[in-house]
Amino acid sequence: MRALRTTRTILLSLVGAVPLAAAPRWVPISPSSATVPPGRTQAGSIYDPVGRRLVVFGGKGSGGNLNDVWAYDLQQNRWSELTPAAGDSPTPRFTPNAVYDPIGHQMIVWSGQSSAGFHNDVWAFDLSTNQWSEFDAPPPEPNVRYGAASVFDPVAGELVTFAGFTDQGRFEDTWRFAVAQETWREVDTSAGHPLKRCLHSASYDSGRHRMIIFGGQRSGALNDIWAFDLASDRWSDLSPGSRPDGRFFTAQAYDPRGDRVLVFGGNLGGSRSNQVWSFSLAARSWQLLAPSGAAPTARDGSGGILIPDQDRFVIFGGFDGAYRSDLWSLEGLTPEVAECIAGNVDASQGTIAEVLFVNDAIGQGELRTVSIGADTPLTLRLNAPPALSGGPAAFVLYAWLGSPNPASVQSLPFELGSICMPVPLSGGAPQPALIWNNIGLEELLGAPSLPSQPAPSVVLELPQGLGLSGTFFLQGLIVDSAAPSGIAAVTNGITLVVE
C-alpha cells in the first residue's frame, strides 16, 4: 500500500478569451537520436512540465499490447525509455487513461483492456524515480472497462473519469479517485449527464476548473461536447448547432492562451481524419483550422499534449493502417495580445487586488517594481483582500527568474498558475528559480492556509536577505472559496530587483 500524503499544492490558472492570430502550421519533428518507441495506438500520454517532456505509456502495436514507458525530451529532442527493469507494473494494455498529477509529480494510470480482459486498477508512475506503485483502493470502485476518459483535478487532488465500455455494455457514470486517500467516490449525476459512450476524449479546462469531454462512440460516432464542473460536480451540455462530424479515438487538449479545446484526428466510423478542430469555450462554437505545411496522415488513437509556453500542440503516433511512432507539432497557436496591466493577473473570474507585498511595498510604475539590496531583510507578505469571505483560503506564491520585457512575450506554464496573459519574461521560456507553495510555506511557517480570523495574511521572512543579486518576478495568488466559480482568485505580480 502506498503511503498517504498529508499536504497538497493548489495549482490554478486564470485566462481570458482573445481572438486568434495567424493560422497555425504543421511541423514534423525529427528526433536527434535513432532510438524511438515502437509504433502504437491508443496509448496513455501526458505532459510532464517539470521535465518538459511527453511521457507515453502502453497502447497497442504490431506485436500486441504494450506496457512500456517512454519520454520525449522537448529540449533535447530525443526519446528515452523509462520502463523499470524490475518491480510490479501494469499489465500490457490499450486505452489506459493517463493523467499528470502535479502534486506528486507522477503519472496516474487507470483502466484499459489487455489480453486478460478489462481493468479497473489504478497505478502511479513516479516521474523522479521511474518506478510503478499500485494503489490499494477499497470498495466501492468503478466496474472494469476500457475506452474511458479522465482528467486530473489539481484542486481536489483527484482523478476524475467518465463512462467507458465492457462486455456488459457502455457506462454513463462519473467517478472521482482521491489520490492521497486511495479511495473512489461515485458522483451523483441525476441532475443530468452525457449519455452512455466509450472511446471519447477529455481535457482539463484550467480557466474554469472543468473537465471537457468530446465525442466518442455509442451506436455510431458522437459529436457532442460537455463540461463537468469540478467544484459543483455538475454536467452541462456545451454542444452548439453546428458541429464537426462525429468521431472517436481523437487527441484532445486544452489551450489556455486561446481559451479553447483542440481536437485532432479520430475515427469517423468508417474513415480516419487528420483534421484539427477548435472549440471556443467562451463563444461555444467550433472552427475547422486550416494549418499550413504537410500534415500528419489521417489516423486515430494518437496521443496529444499542449505545451503552453512553447505555443504548440504535439501529436504522437496513432494508427493510419500501420502503427505509428512519429511526432508532429502544430505551431503558431498564439492568440493576439490581450489588454492587461503587465505584471498583474487578468482575473476575469474575480477581482484584482493587492495581495503580494514586498517589504510592505507593492511596487511602482506599470511593471510594479520593487528594488532591494542583496543583504536587505526580505519580507514577503500575502494579504487576503477585504472581499474574501468564508473559511481559510489556500494560497500560492511563485518566484521566477527574469524581468518583464515586452519584446519577449512568454506565458508561465499553466500547470504552475499563469499571470497576466501574456506574461512578458526575458530570456525566452521562463526559468523557475523558486517555487513556494502551501507545502513549502507550511514547512517554514506552519501555515498551510490563510486563517479566516483575524485579517487573513501570511508572511515569509528572510532576515538576512536573499544573499544573491538578480531580477525576479513574483506572483501571489489567493483562492477565494466564496467566488461563484469556486476557484476565482485575486492576485498581483511584482518585479523584484535585487542589487
**What CATH number corresponds to the domain at position 459?**
2.60.40
- In the chain, the percentage of residues whose pLDDT exceeds 70 is 72
- 131 against 392, higher pLDDT: 131
| Residue 341: inside a domain | no
Give the pLDDT confidence score for residue 362 in this predicted structure: 82
pLDDT at 206 exceeding the cut of 50: yes
Establish if 3 belongs to a structural domain: no
Question: In terms of domains, do 84 and 167 share one?
Answer: yes
| pLDDT the model gives residue 334 | 65
CATH number at residue 128: 2.120.10.80
For residues 42 and 164, state if they share a domain: yes
Same domain, 287 and 142: yes
Which residue, 297, 347, 306, is CA-closest to 329? 306
Note whether 233 and 380 are same-domain residues: no
pLDDT in tens, 377-430: 888 877 766 555 444 555 566 666 665 443 332 333 333 333 333 332 222 333
Q: With 70 as the cut, is the pLDDT of residue 463 above it? A: yes
- What 8-state DSSP symbol labels residue 338? P
Q: Which residues contact 57 (CB under 8 A, 6 or more apart)?
A: 43, 44, 45, 67, 68, 69, 90, 96, 98, 107, 109, 125
Given this model, what pLDDT does residue 363 score?
A: 77
Sign, CA dihedral 81-87-92-94, equals negative
Residues 299 and 423 placed together within one structural domain of the fold:
no
Q: Is residue 55 part of a domain?
A: yes
The enclosing H or E element of 442 equals helix 438-445
* Lowest-confidence pick of 368-377, 449-458, 465-474: 449-458
On whether residue 411 sits in a domain, the answer given is yes
Can you give the pLDDT at residue 496?
82
Query: Is 298 found in the same domain as 376?
Result: no
- Model pLDDT, residue 477: 62
Show which of 296, 331, 366 is a domain's final residue.
331
Instruction: Mark whether 176 and 243 lie in a shared domain.
Output: yes
Q: Which helix (H) or strand (E) holds 251?
A: strand 251-255
Per-residue pLDDT averaged across 198-219, rounded?
95
Indicate if 294 and 371 belong to the same structural domain: no
pLDDT bracket for residue 479 (50, 70, 90): low
Name the more confident of 457 and 251: 251
DSSP 39: P
The amino acid at 479: V
Task: Report pLDDT for 378.
Answer: 82
Mean pLDDT of the chain: 79
Confidence of residue 480 (pLDDT cuts 50, 70, 90): low
Number of domains in the chain: 2
Has residue 296 been placed in a domain?
yes
- Within a domain: residue 245? yes
Cβ atoms of residues 400 and 430 within 8 Å: yes
Q: Same domain, yes or no, for 324 and 394? A: no
User: What would the mean pLDDT of 320-341 be, rounded to a whole number?
Assistant: 75
Q: What is the CA radius of gyration of the chain?
A: 22
Residue 312 in this model has a pLDDT that exceeds 50: yes
Same domain, 301 and 375: no
Hey, is 67 helix, strand or coil?
strand
| Domain assignment present for 350 | no
As given in the structure block, the three cell numbers for residue 472 are 525576479
- Would residue 147 count as lying in a domain? yes
Q: Within this chain, do residues 267 and 322 fall inside the same structural domain, yes or no?
A: yes
CA distance linking residue 471 with residue 469, whole number of Å: 7
Residue 326 sits in the same domain as residue 402: no
| Domain with 278 in it | 25-331
